[in-house]
């Protein structure tokens, strides 16, 4: 479901709570930024106003300097030095804030995404998920430092009003009316800003998602000669994204224009009100200069506050989007504090070392049940048992639940009912348990990454080239290596696009073998292999002692080799036993056997 049709609010912390937790995450950096903002704004918006008033009053003779011209020079120089010091404070505090806070948020997002069952899809497309990791996360550190600008700005506005009111209360009140009008406009515009931001971000996510899907289906697009249609659809999505982004930007610019004209309107009000007083000498040129400068500063602060109010509405949208990606996570999951060290060495990859408790003697499952949300499709009441050193094959027609059974057993789908035992111990969390060195799994369409063949096989595992070559030979990929451009250093391209389907499957098999698991789980591994390669693969696997395999397949050579066969139909076990038994007693197995032979 795309976000354009998503209207129900996701349970989430309010945006201000998320900001506060991020302030607490790096409190000293935030405090240094606060001091820097106070020093910078005083030197930029208050001190110059006082200097200008004193200077013009001295020039016009309206007031005498009690501290001398050189004091003005020294004061001016001091404000410049103060601004330089504040700039260094910003650099010291803001750079790590903009690095650490997004890293923490991304870390928390990723932690809860990885806790999802492996085969459970994200609530939105991968492209939209990426936009949340990039755009939505970046909004948060900006607010952590901008609240300091608002806090200091309020103090400066209060001080400016006091300074102006001491000169003329009536003129001060009248010149502040445009500021109040802008505040009302900003409040009324809030809902519209939130709507435009949500639509714009959703359209951008649709474009990113389409790009990701396109790169993952290049071969399918080429086979169907659908390049022009794909490009035409991409242009439509991009035009929609551009239209919504321009609408959002246009609305922001209109509001900013209103904010920026506040000081101009205030200056006009002052000129109308104080013209007679200036001629009479009761309102000096220095006073006028002070008013104009402070109103300009107040206008800038009003502009800033108005834009921040608008961005806060947008931030609330960003928080909602991040929580939607985390789906069912606790409310404090996004802001949970943890270690973020961007300067230290990268943490090492820790692999579990196989011990005696990992040895597989028997794997059993009772009453395995899973149904896809909002559907009756799935599996129900499936039992299976396999012993060490055996080959168990799961077979059935398309849609019978073979892949669903594997994924449910391995914890890639959430188990609704049933119990799994590894030897005599109950497996309470299959997704965490069925990993190397206990178990390795290869899907029918394995996932390869745009990297070298070596890195795709190792995935961070520390093994020698000799080990890699041994695993590739077991996967019947030794001859392919000689034909590849750079042997193990060959770049396989995005999702292994530079390899054939059979090479991708055998590279994934080598990735399994090098981990030396107790249980090998294949989902139709040989679907892209020719008959001879498939024969060699299984011969090499079973030439090794104690290889325990659970395989989804309908191929006759493997069915003949199987120690035990489970036949699924409509998500349930239709029959089970050896091939000879099933060909005598199971009508479903007899039909599958005829179909495989093309009869």
What integer pLDDT is reported at residue 2 of this predicted model?
41
**Higher pLDDT among residues 308 and 547, named by residue:** 547
DSSP states of 102-163: HHHHHHHHHHHHHTS-TTPPPSS-HHHHHHIIIIIHHHHHHHHHHHHHHHHHHHHHHHHHHH
Within a domain: residue 552?
A: yes
What domain range includes position 413? Answer: 356-596
Tens-place pLDDT, residues 564-599: 999 999 999 999 999 999 999 999 999 989 887 664
**Spatial contact of 461 and 351, defined as CB atoms under 8 Å apart:** yes
Within a domain: residue 332?
A: no
Using CA atoms, how far residue 119 sits from 210, 308, 407, in Å, is 20, 40, 7
Within a domain: residue 366?
A: yes
Within a domain: residue 82?
A: yes
Residues 365 and 498 in one domain: yes
Q: How confident is the model at residue 50 (pLDDT cuts 50, 70, 90)?
A: confident
Q: Which of 326, 345, 378 is the last residue of a domain?
A: 326
Counting every residue written for the chain, the total comes to: 599
Place of tokens 């990426």: 130
Question: Which residue from 77, 123, 106 is spatially nearest to 333, judged by alpha carbons?
Answer: 106
DSSP state of 411: T
Whole-number Å distance between alpha carbons of 112 and 327: 8
Whole-number Å distance between alpha carbons of 526 and 543: 18
Overall domain count for the chain: 2
Question: Which residue from 411, 416, 394 is spatially nearest to 562, judged by alpha carbons?
Answer: 394
Cis-peptide, bond into residue 403, ω within 30° of zero = no
Residues 129 and 218 in one domain: yes
The arithmetic mean of pLDDT across residues 369-387, rounded, is 91
What integer pLDDT is reported at residue 565 of this predicted model?
95
Query: Within a 13 Å sphere around the CA of 532, how many CA atoms are in the beta-carbon half?
Result: 1
Within a domain: residue 297?
A: yes
Residues 57 and 160 in one domain: yes
Q: How confident is the model at residue 115 (pLDDT cuts 50, 70, 90)?
A: confident
The arithmetic mean of pLDDT across residues 281-294, rounded, is 69
pLDDT of 379 strictly over 90: yes
Residues 318 and 466 in one domain: no
What integer pLDDT is reported at residue 4 of this predicted model?
39
The arithmetic mean of pLDDT across residues 10-32, rounded, is 89
Whole-number Å distance between alpha carbons of 509 and 476: 9
pTM of the complete model: 0.70
Q: Which of 308, 326, 344 is the last residue of a domain?
A: 326
Residues 181 and 231 in one domain: yes
Q: How confident is the model at residue 418 (pLDDT cuts 50, 70, 90)?
A: very high
Whole-number Å distance between alpha carbons of 406 and 387: 17
Residues 140 and 234 in one domain: yes
Question: Which residue from 75, 31, 35, 82 is spatially nearest to 51, judged by alpha carbons?
Answer: 75
The arithmetic mean of pLDDT across residues 542-546, rounded, is 82
Residues 198 and 103 in one domain: yes
Residues 318 and 364 in one domain: no
Tens-place pLDDT, residues 51-99: 777 777 666 655 555 556 666 677 778 888 888 898 899 899 999 999 9
Residues 415 and 509 in one domain: yes
Per DSSP, helices labelled H in 216-261 are 218-223, 227-260
CATH number at residue 38: 1.20.1560.10
Residues 200 and 295 in one domain: yes
**Spatial contact of 325 and 123, defined as CB atoms under 8 Å apart:** yes
**Lowest mean pLDDT across 320-329, 358-367, 487-496, 545-554:** 487-496
Q: Could you tell me what percent of the chain has a pLDDT over 90?
A: 28
Within a domain: residue 341?
A: no
Residues 239 and 371 in one domain: no
Place of tokens 């290596």: 481
Backbone angles phi, psi at 499, to 5 degrees: -105, 155
Within a domain: residue 345?
A: no
Assign 3-class secondary structure to 311-355. HHHHHHHHHHHHHHHHCCCCCCCCCCCCCCCCCCCCCCCCCCCCC
For CA atoms 125, 448, 406, 431, the dihedral sign is negative
Q: How confident is the model at residue 5 (pLDDT cuts 50, 70, 90)?
A: very low
CATH number at residue 406: 3.40.50.300
The mean predicted confidence, pLDDT, of the chain is 82
Within a domain: residue 334?
A: no
Residues 95 and 140 in one domain: yes
User: Six-digit token pair at 335?
Assistant: 């802001």
Place of tokens 């900006």: 142
Q: How confident is the model at residue 179 (pLDDT cuts 50, 70, 90)?
A: low
pLDDT of 425 strictly over 80: yes
DSSP state of 25: H
Q: How confident is the model at residue 499 (pLDDT cuts 50, 70, 90)?
A: confident
Q: How confident is the model at residue 7 (pLDDT cuts 50, 70, 90)?
A: very low
Q: What angle separates helix 227-260 from helix 285-326, to the nearest 10 degrees? A: 150
User: Six-digit token pair at 454?
Assistant: 């070596």
**Lowest mean pLDDT across 53-62, 361-370, 386-395, 510-519:** 53-62
């Amino acid at each position: 479901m795309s976000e354009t049709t998503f209207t129900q609010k996701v349970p989430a912390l309010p945006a201000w709570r998320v900001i506060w937790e991020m302030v607490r995450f790096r409190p000293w950096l935030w405090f240094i930024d606060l001091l820097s903002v106070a020093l910078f704004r005083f030197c930029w918006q208050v001190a110059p106003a006082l200097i200008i008033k004193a200077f013009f009053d001295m020039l016009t003779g309206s007031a005498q300097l009690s501290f001398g011209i050189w004091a003005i020079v020294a004061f001016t120089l001091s404000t410049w030095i103060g601004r330089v010091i504040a700039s260094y404070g910003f650099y010291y505090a803001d750079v790590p804030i903009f690095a650490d806070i997004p890293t923490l948020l991304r870390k928390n997002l990723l932690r809860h995404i990885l806790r999802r069952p492996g085969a459970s899809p994200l609530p939105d497309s991968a492209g939209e998920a990426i936009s949340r990791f990039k755009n939505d996360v970046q909004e948060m550190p900006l607010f952590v430092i901008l609240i300091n600008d608002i806090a200091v700005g309020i103090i400066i506005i209060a001080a400016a009003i006091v300074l102006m009111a001491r000169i003329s209360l009536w003129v001060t009140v009248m010149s502040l009316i445009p500021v109040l009008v802008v505040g009302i406009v900003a409040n009324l515009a809030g809902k519209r800003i939130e709507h435009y931001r949500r639509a714009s971000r959703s359209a951008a996510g649709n474009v990113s998602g389409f790009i990701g899907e396109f790169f993952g289906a290049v071969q399918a697009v080429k086979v169907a000669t659908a390049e022009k249609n794909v490009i035409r659809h991409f242009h439509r999505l991009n035009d929609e994204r551009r239209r919504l982004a321009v609408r959002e930007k246009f609305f922001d610019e209109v509001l900013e224009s209103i904010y920026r004209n506040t000081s101009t309107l205030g200056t006009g009000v002052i000129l109308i009100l104080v013209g007679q007083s200036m001629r009479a000498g009761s309102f000096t040129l220095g006073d006028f200069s002070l008013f104009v400068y402070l109103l300009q500063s107040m206008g800038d602060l009003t502009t800033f506050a108005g834009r921040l109010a608008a961005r806060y509405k947008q931030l609330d949208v960003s928080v909602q989007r991040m929580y939607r990606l985390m789906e069912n996570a606790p409310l404090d999951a996004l802001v949970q504090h943890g270690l973020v060290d961007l300067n230290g060495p990268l943490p090492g990859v820790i692999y579990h070392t196989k011990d005696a408790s990992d040895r597989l003697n028997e794997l059993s499952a009772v009453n395995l049940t899973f149904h896809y949300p909002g559907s009756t499709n799935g599996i129900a009441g499936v039992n299976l048992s396999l012993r060490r050193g055996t080959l168990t094959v799961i077979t059935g027609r398309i849609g019978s639940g073979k892949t669903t059974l594997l994924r449910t057993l391995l914890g890639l789908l959430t188990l609704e009912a049933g119990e799994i035992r590894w030897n005599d111990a109950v497996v309470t969390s299959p997704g965490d348990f069925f990993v190397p060195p206990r178990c390795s799994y290869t899907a029918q369409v394995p996932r390869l990454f745009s990297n070298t063949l070596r890195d795709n096989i190792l995935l961070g595992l520390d093994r020698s080239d000799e080990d890699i070559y041994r695993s590739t030979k077991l996967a019947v990929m030794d001859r392919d290596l000689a034909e590849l451009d750079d042997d193990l250093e060959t770049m396989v391209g995005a999702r292994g696009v530079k390899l054939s389907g059979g090479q991708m499957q055998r590279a994934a098999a080598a990735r399994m073998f090098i981990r030396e698991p107790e249980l090998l789980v294949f989902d139709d591994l040989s679907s892209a292999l020719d008959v001879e390669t498939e024969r060699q693969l299984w011969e090499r696997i079973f030439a090794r002692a104690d290889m325990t395999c659970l395989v989804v397949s309908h191929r006759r050579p493997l069915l003949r080799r199987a120690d035990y066969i489970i036949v699924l139909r409509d998500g349930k076990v239709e029959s089970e036993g050896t091939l000879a038994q099933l060909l005598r007693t199971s009508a479903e197995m007899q039909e599958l056997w005829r179909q495989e032979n093309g009869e």
